[in-house]
Amino acid sequence: MKNQAADKETAGGGTGASLGEVNGTIEVPKNAGFWKTFKAFSGPGVLIAVGYMDPGNWITSIAGGAQYRYALLAVVLLSSLIAMLLQSMAARLGIVTGQDLAQLTRAHTSKRMGFFLWVVAELAIMATDIAEIIGSAIAIQLLFGIPLIVGIMITALDVLLLLLLMKLGFRKIEAIVATLVIVILVVFAYEVFLAKPDIGGILTGYMPTSAIITNHGMLYLTLGIVGATVMPHDLYLGSSISQTRKVDRDNRVELAQAVRFSTIDSNVQLFLAFIVNSLLLILGAALFYGTNSDLGRFADLFASLNNPQIVGAIASPVLSMLFAVALLASGQSSTITGTLAGQIVMEGFIRIKAPIWAQRLITRILSVSPVLVFAIIYHGNEAKIEGLLTFSQVFLSVALPFAVIPLVIFTSDKKLMQEFTNKLWVKICAWTSTIVLILLNIYLILQTLGIMK
């Protein structure tokens, strides 16, 4: 196999290392035990996992529980399994080739197709950021009474926080995001515990039913959950930050170890994301199913948790405030990873040459501007602004195949991946997931247009 420098130059078209300022900066112990080695490789997985529990999940998952009780838990489970498979492939691609998915896609496509895929990737990141920005801004409004438009502008400043954290080291970013994830997990575990859900109904809900496909409303929310759970930008991010550990690619044993432990890290963290997403849907089902309450907005959820007529005796201001705190933690942790993904996509596809701070600032402005413009047009109307959320998650589901197809092709390429190429069962599962997703998208569009009933 070519040496690392040659790999970067050839595969990436001369773009250099992905996230070059942190690539290969974290030392990994030699000949250490399992837990010590696992600790060294742990971290990238949590940055990936936050994208699977961002504010976009909240409305779709809680609304899914409120409308269809536990029936869509099967979708959460299947989406999480698909996410584990795809993210492990993305990490393996980055570790083995020394290039991220954006760089490889650009290097193996025409200029026109590369530009098209870059636009789709950027739109997917914007769609992701719509949920994160709106979630953070509303959390700030609920906690501190700050107007929504001002809150949106405040969220634009978190790119400065990211720049500061990068100065402190990538491990600091991983630790801070992990702390925010723990806050989210604890808050929703506590609220679900108080809600006393039906355990039997939960277990039954993890079994898929045909209604998920035949019921248009369920299908729309299904694609929203898939779009919120399996994130296109996370595939680009995962293929890049998997390279933050210092690995000698000429050492096959070291390379195999990196692939193994990165996969374990990714699966463990995505399992936690699966638990959070399940808790969100279970909370919606336990508290709001059959109540006929309007849960289309974060403010409605906030108010409902303090309304005894809706959630019964457990209603309290504490529950509402915990919800807002978790929402802010979710939005902030997700914007950190979203901004990183934006830089990866921009560098990989259009090979932009600019200072790191300028790249991150451009990425953040591209993401914040549509939400801010929309907020100004509708004078900060929460209902109008939050109407973007479910649509943004469905768009992510539509955009997903444009990231998944190149990922499956590259990781199945024997010349590119050598002995680390996809096994047969991985190819079958990956292609099946992609084809099913595409068919579901086509079916939804036809139903929406009234062509199919």
CATH number for 314: 1.20.1740.10
Report how many domains make up the chain: 1
Distance of alpha carbon 224 from the chain centroid: 13
How high is the pLDDT of residue 9?
A: 40
Residue 260 has pLDDT above 90, yes or no: yes
**Average confidence (pLDDT) over 238-247:** 91
* Position 385 confidence tier, pLDDT thresholds 50, 70, 90: low
Is the pLDDT assigned to residue 152 strictly greater than 90?
no
Look-up: residue for tokens 């009933």? 453
186-197: average pLDDT: 87
Q: pLDDT, tens digit, for every residue of 49-86?
A: 887 887 767 777 888 888 899 999 999 999 899 989 99
The pLDDT value recorded for residue 143 is: 87
Sign of CA dihedral 348, 350, 354, 359: negative
Tokens encoding 140 = 């700030």
Residue 99 has pLDDT above 80, yes or no: yes
CB 402 within 8 A of CB 120: yes
Q: Which two tokens stand for residue 175?
A: 């630790």
Give a three-class secondary structure readout of the chain.
Answer: CCCHHHHHHHHCCCCCCCCCCCCCCECCCCCCCHHHHHHHHCCHHHHHHHCCCCHHHHHHHHHHHHHHCCCCHHHHHHHHHHHHHHHHHHHHHHHHHCCCHHHHHHHCCCHHHHHHHHHHHHHHHHHHHHHHHHHHHHHHHHHHCCCHHHHHHHHCCHHHHHHHHHHHCHHHHHHHHHHHHHHHHHHHHHHHHHHCCCHHHHHHHCCCCCHHHHCHHHHHHHHHHHHHHCCHHHHHHHHHHHHHECCCCCCHHHHHHHHHHHHHHHHHHHHHHHHHHHHHHHHHHHHHCCCCCCCCCHHHHHHHCCCHHHHHHHCCHHHHHHHHHHHHHHHHHHHHHHHHHHHHHHHHHHCCCCCHHHHHHHHHHHHHHHHHHHHHHCCCCHHHHHHHHHHHHHHHHHHHHHHHHHHHHHHCCHHHHHHHCCCHHHHHHHHHHHHHHHHHHHHHHHHHCCCCC
The answer to whether residues 49 and 269 touch, using CB atoms and an 8 Å cutoff, is: yes
pLDDT confidence bin for 5, thresholds 50/70/90:
very low
Instruction: Of 29-33, 152-156, 369-373, 386-390, give the lowest mean pLDDT range.
Output: 386-390
- Mean pLDDT (whole number) for 432-448: 73
Average pLDDT over residues 214-224: 79
Find the angle CA(315)-CA(318)-CA(323) to the nearest 5 degrees.
Answer: 90
- Between 206 and 358, the more confident residue is 206
* Closest of 140, 145, 143 to residue 158, by C-alpha: 140
Q: How much is the mean pLDDT over the chain?
A: 81
> Judging by beta carbons within 10 Å of its beta carbon (0-12, 13-18, 19+), is residue 36 exposed, middle or buried?
exposed
How high is the pLDDT of residue 386?
A: 65
- In whole angstroms, give the CA distance from residue 103 to residue 423: 23
Does residue 423 or residue 309 have the better pLDDT? 423
Residue 394 has pLDDT above 70, yes or no: no
- 264: confidence class by pLDDT, cuts 50, 70, 90: very high
- pLDDT over threshold 50, residue 8: no
In this predicted structure, what is the pLDDT of residue 270?
93
**Tell me, what's the pLDDT at 381?**
64
| Domain carrying residue 412 | 41-448
Residue with more model confidence, 185 or 131:
185
Q: Is the dihedral of CA 205, 211, 217, 218 positive or negative?
A: positive
- Would residue 3 count as lying in a domain? no
Contacts of 216 (CB under 8 A, 6+ apart): 444, 447
| pLDDT confidence tier of residue 389, bands split at 50, 70 and 90 | low
> What's the average model confidence in pLDDT over 353-362?
70
Inside any domain, residue 21: no
- pLDDT exceeds cutoff 60 at 4: no
**Res 7 pLDDT > 70:** no
pLDDT band at 412 (very low <50, low <70, confident <90, very high): very high
pTM of the model: 0.84
The answer as to whether 369 is a domain residue is yes
Give the lowest-confidence range in 121-125, 164-168, 199-203: 164-168
Q: Is residue 8 part of a domain?
A: no
Query: What percentage of the chain has pLDDT greater than the value 90?
Result: 26
The pLDDT assigned to 421 comes to 94
**The pLDDT of residue 392 is above 60:** yes
pLDDT given for residue 3 in this prediction: 40
- Given this model, what pLDDT does residue 393 score? 63
pLDDT given at position 294? 60
Residue 439 inside a domain? The answer is yes
259-276: average pLDDT: 93
| Residue 100 confidence (pLDDT) | 93
Answer whether residue 298 is part of any domain: yes
Of 22-36, 57-71, 103-117, 223-237, give the lowest mean pLDDT range. 223-237
